[in-house]
A = this chain, B = another copy of it.
Amino acid sequence: MGIRVAVAGASGYAGGELLRLVAGHPELDLVAATAHTQAGTPVAAVHPQLAGLELTLGVTEAATLGDADLVFLALPHGQSAALAAQLPGGVKVVDLGADFRLRDAAAWERYYGGAHAGTWTYGLPELPGQRAAIAASGRVANTGCYAAAITLALAPLIAAGVADPADVVVVAASGTSGAGRSAKAHLLGSEVMGDLSPYKVGAHQHVPEIKQATGADSLSMTPVLAPMPRGILATVTARPIGRTPPRDVLAAAYADEPFVHVLPEGAWPHTAATLGSNSCHLQATLDADSGRIVVLSALDNLGKGAAAQAVQCANLMLGLPETAGLSVFGVAP
């Protein structure tokens, strides 16, 4: 008998990836998966890639979920707080939504609207001190997908005093699963294939989270939708302070990390190499003309950017080996 785990919001893309990871995890038992409009439907009818998984989606409510040792919440932003409040205090929770990520209530209200629900332990184990904090927490707020890619690229450089926090410029492209599974005309395959499409230019809601996690003071972030189901590639640039090569700082910061790989010099991260894994690939250099630091960061938005990262946090919270049930390696080509 393994540890009992439930997934709320299991009909979406992050939910489906959570089901895949939990079902294949050597120490976890998937005891419940819930959804809103698709409650009552077999999981494999909603996620055909899970054919063979005999489980029916339940209703997303505390009664269905509270019997688990740990619950993953993969709900739309703003819906986690009410459900989390109803779960027994002894049930551990990892929230994949944005509700509990920010420390600054005003920033929450400005970008998401509504009242700020509170602040949970931030679920990025590779930040200094955060691994222990997650292990000691009953409630963890998983990072956003863009935030994971950008924070892993930038936080060590600002912390080391090597990158200037004053004028960070980021362009980050995401596969379409980052936009969710709701049927919207602009996300149809006919529209997105062969297309690069920027969105929320000038004011993306993840900016306060990224500033909080990286220490950046000013951040221009332009998100782009790319014609692929999964993957984030973030190009992060900042002005250098001093002459320390940025790659050296990153290599030192992640030398012992199982899931963050600073690539050999000359090799650049690309998204396909991370598909299905919990890995983030990094590389950094100085731009010849402008002198700027340029860091490239690639990960799977549903992996290290969402579901796999959440399982990594859960492993820590449950006292399991941090890498249990997770793959370092991507599925490619």
Q: Interface residues, chain A, CB within 8 Å of chain B?
A: 13, 16, 20, 23-24, 42, 44-45, 47-53, 167-169, 171, 173, 175-177, 179, 181-185, 187-199, 201-203, 207, 211, 218-222, 224, 226-231, 233, 235, 237, 239, 258, 261, 263-264, 267-277, 279, 281, 283, 285-292, 294, 296, 298, 327-333
From B44, B51, B176, B329, A189 is in contact (CB under 8 Å) with: B176
From B199, B224, B275, B287, A202 is in contact (CB under 8 Å) with: B287
A191-B272, A198-B268, A218-B289 given; name 16 further pairs at CB < 8 Å: A13-B190, A45-B264, A48-B332, A50-B329, A52-B279, A167-B239, A181-B190, A198-B269, A201-B283, A201-B296, A218-B290, A220-B237, A221-B289, A227-B228, A275-B331, A331-B331
22 A–B pairs (Cβ distance < 8 Å), ordered by A: A13-B333, A23-B329, A49-B272, A49-B332, A53-B328, A173-B196, A175-B190, A176-B188, A187-B189, A191-B272, A193-B229, A194-B228, A194-B229, A196-B231, A196-B233, A196-B271, A197-B233, A198-B270, A201-B294, A219-B290, A221-B287, A226-B226
From B50, B235, B258, B270, A48 is in contact (CB under 8 Å) with: B270
Q: State the Cβ distance, A94 to closest chain B Cβ, in Å.
A: 21
The answer to whether residues A177 and B201 also contact, given A294-B220, A329-B23 and a CB cut-off of 8 A, is: no
Contact between B198 and A228, CB atoms less than 8 A apart: no
Number of copies: 4
Q: Give Cα distance in the complex from A211 to B287, angstroms.
A: 15
Contact between A195 and B258, CB atoms less than 8 A apart: no
A44 — which chain B residues lie within 8 A by C-beta?
264
Contact between A275 and B187, CB atoms less than 8 A apart: no
Q: State the Cβ distance, A19 to closest chain B Cβ, in Å.
A: 8
A233 — which chain B residues lie within 8 A by C-beta?
196-198, 224
Contact between A290 and B169, CB atoms less than 8 A apart: yes
Contact between A193 and B202, CB atoms less than 8 A apart: no
A167 — which chain B residues lie within 8 A by C-beta?
167, 239, 290
Q: Give Cα distance in the complex from A250 to B201, angstroms.
A: 17
Contact between B190 and A333, CB atoms less than 8 A apart: yes
A231 — which chain B residues lie within 8 A by C-beta?
194-196
Q: Give Cα distance in the complex from A269 to B270, angstroms.
A: 24
A191 — which chain B residues lie within 8 A by C-beta?
189, 272, 333
A175 — which chain B residues lie within 8 A by C-beta?
190, 194
Contact between B202 and A294, CB atoms less than 8 A apart: yes
Q: State the Cβ distance, A163 to closest chain B Cβ, in Å.
A: 13
Contact between A188 and B190, CB atoms less than 8 A apart: no
Of all A-B residue pairs in the complex, the 5 with the closest CB atoms, nearest first, are A49-B330, A189-B192, A195-B272, A171-B171, A197-B270
Q: Give Cα distance in the complex from A47 to B187, angstroms.
A: 14
A189 — which chain B residues lie within 8 A by C-beta?
176, 187-189, 191-193, 227, 229
Q: State the Cβ distance, A159 to closest chain B Cβ, in Å.
A: 20
Q: Give Cα distance in the complex from A229 to B229, angstroms.
A: 13
Q: State the Cβ distance, A13 to closest chain B Cβ, in Å.
A: 6
Contact between B228 and A193, CB atoms less than 8 A apart: yes
A197 — which chain B residues lie within 8 A by C-beta?
233, 268, 270-272
